[in-house]
Structure 1
Amino acid sequence: MVKITDVARHAGVSPSTVSYALSGKRPISEETRQRIEASILALGYRPHAGARALASSRSNVLALVVPFRSGMHVPVVMQFAVSVVTAARRHDHDVLLLTQEEGEEGLRRVADTALVDALIVMDVQMRDARLPLLRALDRPSVLIGFPAEPAGLTCIDLDFEAAGAACVRHLAELGHRCVALVGSPPEVYLRGTGFAQRVARGFTAAADERGLTSTIHPCGATQAEARDIARRLLGEHPELTGLVVHNEPLVQPLIEAFQEIGLRVPEDLSLVAICPDEQAEQAPVPVTSVAVPSAEIGTEAVELLMHKLDRRSVPEATLLPPRLTRRATTVPRGSTR
């Protein structure tokens, strides 16, 4: 492993001069600095994180705030987290993962220390109590999600409203006239979580635009709840032929629940989900879906944060357009395949 003494010997200076060049504690000539930088590059020396922080007045650590609340589907959340960590490492940054209920007090606790340079905040609610503090902090932040009033913030997410609408339009184009949305667990709606509210808004608007009969049903994520909602939907809406599912762990249990009561997917009931592509592709019957692009969103959130740390301008709002892929679970109404 290359040491600071090796760099000093290669550059023809003392180890303390190399240390000053890294920390910025004392001025050194530009010619000496360039010689030291050339030696660091030639030898492949990697300064200790503490030295880098002193030189740049940064910790080279980002905080990822992911409060694990009831009703969240952890595997998808962790896809976002992995993409953030991977992108941060490409910028030589580490990630501090905060998974507790980090409200305003938690954010202030982190921001008041030198632990992190910037924050990425997830599970954004429409009326999120953390927003005034995020607007006032002296360090940059990016939200994965959109509150009702995003002005003064930097937000990125899938355009969930357009995603809900795209699902309905696909079913309408196949001739389906009665559709239902099986959505996130009830507590997600009660918290006012942005993505759930926006899917419901887009679903309803597109159904009204096409003159479809539509209903929305929040639902838990267990097989028993899948069976209950399947029976309830058919009891209340026997004419139902189109289903949108925005509840990742419920996609396959719902298909099985409808099959148990005599409805085949897609011959009797076309189903489209909002979920990760790999989940849709690997299902026993590949599912027509709008992708949740967690890797793209997490990577772009880090890029936005790096731009802000470098004092470069960024857009306040970045909405990724939905991408619907037709697979085996949607067919024209009345089709026998």
Structure 2
Amino acid sequence: MVTIGDVAQAAGVSRSTASYALSGKRTISPEVREKVRQAVEELGYTPNAGARALATSQTRVLGLLGRFLPDEFAPAMLQYILGVTNRARDLGYDTLLVSEEDGYAALTRISDSRMADGFVLLNVAEDDDRLPFLRTARQPGVLIGLPHDTTGVDVFDLDFEATGRVMVDTLSELGHTELILVSQPEHVVQRGGAYVWRLADSARERAAELGITIHTYFGSSTQPAIGDDLHRFLDAHPSATGLLLNNEAAAAALPTVLHQREMSAPRDISVIGRYSDDFARTFSLPYTAIDSAADELGRRAVEQLVARIEHRDAPSTHRVELIPPAIQDRGSIAAPPVHP
């Protein structure tokens, strides 16, 4: 196993100088630091995490609290996890994924044991029970998801209100006057998933302003239930010409449903979803969609968290950033069909 002594010998410096060059605890000339970096790269040296934590009071680990809930579509959650872990790795941090349902207990345990330098929270509820502790924890935290009270935390999320308006406006401009909106399961709303009603309420308000009829439904997150749901919604409103999806499971099931009904988009119905570009590629979805910005949210959240970890004297003002919706046209929207 390669040691710090091996790195020092290869770089032609003392063991302590090599250690300081890696930890940054003392000023080392750029030339020496570059020699040490090259030695590390050539030898494949990995610092011992325990020793590094003792020396620097940092673990170089981010705690990612993301619960895999049965009423949410797991592949969609993975897009957010990848966004966080990829950027953390780029910045030299490992990620500790904690998926236990009792997020408060997990957060307190990891914070008290100093297993992580900071936290990223997913599955953020309107009144999230983890936030009171996070606001007082010794480690900083950041949320991907907008709670009711953003005091004392950094928050990044998609602007779901604007997303609902863009969906309705896009189809209204093409001449559609009757739409169906399929949201996440009702259980998501009951436990505080505000993004569901933020989009739905905004879509309803915009539709009312434009004189558009919109039928709103909660859909399942599992197969075959979501397929049955889609058939039921389409059967109930045969004159609807637009379908809005704030439910990844519904988007994944829709190609099969339309095939079974001998329908296609946009010939028979125009479709706009809300999911990430990676999600669309994973399920080969041909539908126009608002990008859920999972990668962008993960990148921004991790960069803000790392800045707080590494610059404790930075201004304490917290950020709340809502990413504006960006629609990606994949050819599933058009003017409504004209029936004789």
Q: Is the 8 A contact 1:155 1:317 kept in 2?
A: yes
The reply to whether residue 139 of structure 1 matches residue 139 of structure 2 is: yes
**Structure 2 CA distance for partners of 1:118 and 1:168, relative to 1, 3 Å:** same
CA distance in 1, matches of 2:180, 2:51: 57
Which AA in structure 2 matches 1:143? L
Q: Compare 142-151 and 283-292 and name the one that shifted more.
A: 283-292
Q: Is the 8 A contact 2:226 2:249 kept in 1?
A: no
Q: Residue by residue, what CA displacement relative to the aligned partner does 1:110-168 show, whole Å, maximum 9, x if unpaired?
A: 11012111000000111211111111112100101001221221111111221122111
What is the Cα-based RMSD across aligned positions, in Å?
3.0
Paired residues for 1:134-213 under 5 Å: 134-213=134-213
Which AA in structure 1 matches 2:37? L
The reply to whether residue 40 of structure 1 matches residue 43 of structure 2 is: no
Q: Percent of counterpart pairs with the same letter?
A: 32
Unaligned 5+ residue runs, structure 2?
A: none
Q: Residue by residue, what CA displacement relative to the aligned partner does 1:163-195 show, whole Å, maximum 9, x if unpaired?
A: 122111111111111112111122212212132
1:23 offset after TM fit, Å? 10
CA distance in 1, matches of 2:31, 2:258: 71
CA distance in 1, matches of 2:129, 2:282: 38
Match of 1:318 among 317, 321, 340: 321
Paired residues for 1:286-325 under 5 Å: 286-309=286-309, 310-311=311-312, 312-313=314-315, 315-325=318-328
Q: Compare 83-92 and 119-128 and name the one that shifted more.
A: 83-92
1:54 alignment partner in structure 2: 54
CA distance in 2, matches of 1:236, 1:30: 71
Which AA in structure 1 matches 2:86? T
* Total equivalences in the alignment: 330
1:274 offset after TM fit, Å? 0.7
SS in 1 for 2:124: coil
SS in 2 for 1:157: strand
Q: Residue by residue, what CA displacement relative to the aligned partner does 1:269-305 show, whole Å, maximum 9, x if unpaired?
A: 2111111224446766721111122112111111010
CA distance in 1, matches of 2:36, 2:171: 60
Which AA in structure 1 matches 2:36? I
TM-score by length of 1: 0.86
Which AA in structure 2 matches 1:323? A
CA distance in 2, matches of 1:284, 1:35: 50
Q: Is the 8 A contact 1:118 1:139 kept in 2?
A: yes
**Structure 2 CA distance for partners of 1:331 and 1:283, relative to 1, 3 Å:** farther
Match of 1:329 among 312, 326, 332: 332
Which AA in structure 2 matches 1:43? A
CA distance in 2, matches of 1:80, 1:59: 23
**Structure 2 CA distance for partners of 1:38 and 1:220, relative to 1, 3 Å:** closer
Paired residues for 1:112-127 under 5 Å: 112-127=112-127
The reply to whether residue 74 of structure 1 matches residue 74 of structure 2 is: yes
